[in-house]
Amino acid sequence: MSGTMTFEALKSAAADGTIDTVLVCLVDMQGRLMGKRFHVSNFIEHSHAETHCCNYLLATDLEMYTVEGYRSTSWAAGYGDYVMKPDLSTLRPVPWLEGTAMVLCDVLDHHTHEPVPHSPRTMLKTQIARLEAMGLTAMMATELEFFLFEKGFDEIRKSGFRDLAPISGYNEDYSILQTTREEAVMRPLRNHLVAAGIPVENSKGEAETGQEELNIRYAEALATADFHTIAKHATKEVAWQQGHAVTFMPKWHRDKVGSATHVHQSLWTKDGKPVFHDPDAEHGMSRTMRHYMAGLIRYASDYTAFLAPYVNSYKRFQEGTFAPTKTAWSIDNRTAGFRLCGEGTKAVRVECRIGGSDLNPYLALAVQLAAGIRGMEEKLELDAPVTGDLYRSRRLKDVPRTLRAASETLRKSKMLRETFGDDVIDHYVRAAEWEQEEFDRVVTDYELARGFERA
């Protein structure tokens, strides 16, 4: 059994005992899978149509704390229900868990059965629909970077997250020798994901001790976000099964490089023609591509909070670490926030390098599509590419360097408010505010060590 499965195939698997459990999942604001484990008989008889969940699932933080200040739900409103509507096109086996299948859900209002506007999957679907109305399809891909550790999650947590030891002792970028020693995790991960219908291309060592990269083949935008979310979830579970831990924190140690989620994107016609490619134009870039990229760059500060959603996210933006600090584009240059890939070919595309490994892919893809569409609508002109070491440039615009700054640009974004609505943007501004508020209350080890005696 491999790839996605039909509802009829699930019935057959239930009948012969191959599948007994169905994970019915929504994607929360943090990009995590939340939901219920159904006995397959109940799912087939009833719950394939819908089930319910508390509406706080789209209004909590990483700790599942019930944050005040959301208009959509609160203690005063009683924390009612949402409808979880299974998207049966996402039904698939979960090969790394015995007898298990999974389905992703859209989130609907309990009373109206209309899509919840601030649901990450809904936000991406609205931008896909805008492109469809233009006769276009977005093809996208994400690269998942993360760190793999010697010890497991429970042991690390009980130690207070002290003395963390990556699984390797040296920079393993492209190293075959070192990654061979990590195949107990990475080989089953690749194989299980392919068997679940996630088109994994490869994994490799990244540019740090214990850092890995998982690359998944490009697909239509919604599938790309689905693939990313399931792959990230699987990475944690497969590592746990093998006695190891992984982290998708963008910056887990001050002396280690950060982890990113690079997003590749291009537009195609419904009959499969690359809209971004013009063989007669400079670099093979069509006018449409230039307008789209100009939108990405013009509005990058507006949507950075969706690419870097936590305080820690911004500690990744450091010079000389392959994490960009400037919202400019260059040709095949990894110091730029936006890199032109596939120059002069039908595969010409733009790679956004700003996002961290902690982003929610549905939100990140949605806001980038929104910015690109606005660039096409406004026919924005693309500046000339920048060459050389962009870190050293003092004339280029910086990526917002703190969550506080990014939340303010999000709050003031006319483009995003016009695209998604005030309620949706206010919802995610509140999420960013809360992350900053919680961090601001904490007394860190750094402050104690620095000031306890000497202040």
Contact call for residues 4 and 91 (beta carbons, < 8 A) = yes
Residue 304 CA, chain-centre distance (Å), reads 13
> Exposed, middle or buried, 162 (CB in 10 Å: 0-12/13-18/19+)?
exposed
Contact call for residues 390 and 326 (beta carbons, < 8 A) = yes
Query: Mean pLDDT, to the nearest integer, of 253-260?
Result: 94
Residue 252: band (very low, low, confident or very high) from pLDDT cuts 50, 70, 90:
very high
Position 320 in a domain: yes
Position 265 in a domain: yes
Same domain, 150 and 107: no
Structure tokens at 172: 């393993």
Same domain, 104 and 217: no
* pLDDT score recorded for residue 397: 86
The strand pairing partners of 330, in sequence order, are 339
Residue 394 in this model has a pLDDT that exceeds 80 = no
Q: What sections of 7-152 are H helices per DSSP? A: 7-15, 40-42, 120-133
59/335: higher pLDDT: 59
CA distance 24 to 226: 14
Q: 188-217: buried (b, 16+ CB within 10 Å) or exposed (e) per residue?
A: bbbebbebbbbebeebbbbebbbbbbbbbe
Residue 1: band (very low, low, confident or very high) from pLDDT cuts 50, 70, 90:
very low
| pLDDT tens readout for residues 144-177 | 999 999 999 999 999 999 999 999 999 999 999 9
Report the DSSP pairing between strands 349-352 and 338-341.
Answer: antiparallel
Same domain, 201 and 226: yes
Residue 388 in this model has a pLDDT that exceeds 90 = no
Query: Mean pLDDT, to the nearest integer, of 77-98?
Result: 96
Position 425 in a domain: yes
Query: Mean pLDDT, to the nearest integer, of 266-278?
Result: 96
Average pLDDT, the chain: 95
Residue 325 in this model has a pLDDT that exceeds 60 = yes
Structural domain range at position 424: 127-447
CATH number at residue 68: 3.10.20.70
Same domain, 34 and 83: yes
H or E segment and range at residue 138 = strand 136-149
Same domain, 73 and 155: no
Query: Mean pLDDT, to the nearest integer, of 265-273?
Result: 95
Same domain, 410 and 262: yes
Domain boundary among 67, 90, 115: 115
Same domain, 149 and 95: no
* pLDDT score recorded for residue 130: 98
Position 289 in a domain: yes
Domain boundary among 115, 136, 151: 115
Residue 211: name the closest of 158, 146, 261 by CA: 146
Same domain, 197 and 57: no
* Least confidently predicted of 132-146, 299-313, 376-390, 416-430: 376-390
Same domain, 196 and 272: yes
Residue 279 in this model has a pLDDT that exceeds 70 = yes
Position 196 in a domain: yes
Domain boundary among 82, 115, 148: 115
| Domain count of the fold of the chain | 2
* Tokens 């005063």 sit on residue: 76
* pLDDT score recorded for residue 12: 97
Same domain, 87 and 158: no
Query: Mean pLDDT, to the nearest integer, of 222-233?
Result: 98
Same domain, 167 and 66: no
* pLDDT score recorded for residue 27: 98
DSSP letter for 107, please.
E
Residue 390 in this model has a pLDDT that exceeds 90 = no
* pLDDT score recorded for residue 2: 62
Residue 25: band (very low, low, confident or very high) from pLDDT cuts 50, 70, 90:
very high
Residue 407: name the closest of 327, 304, 267 by CA: 304
Position 1 in a domain: no
Residue 89: name the closest of 228, 223, 224 by CA: 223
CATH number at residue 321: 3.30.590.10
Position 159 in a domain: yes
Query: Mean pLDDT, to the nearest integer, of 404-423?
Result: 98
Contact call for residues 434 and 64 (beta carbons, < 8 A) = no
DSSP letter for 209, please.
B
Position 2 in a domain: no
How crowded is residue 408: how many other Cβ atoms within 10 Å of its Cβ? Answer: 17
Same domain, 157 and 95: no
CA distance 211 to 250: 11
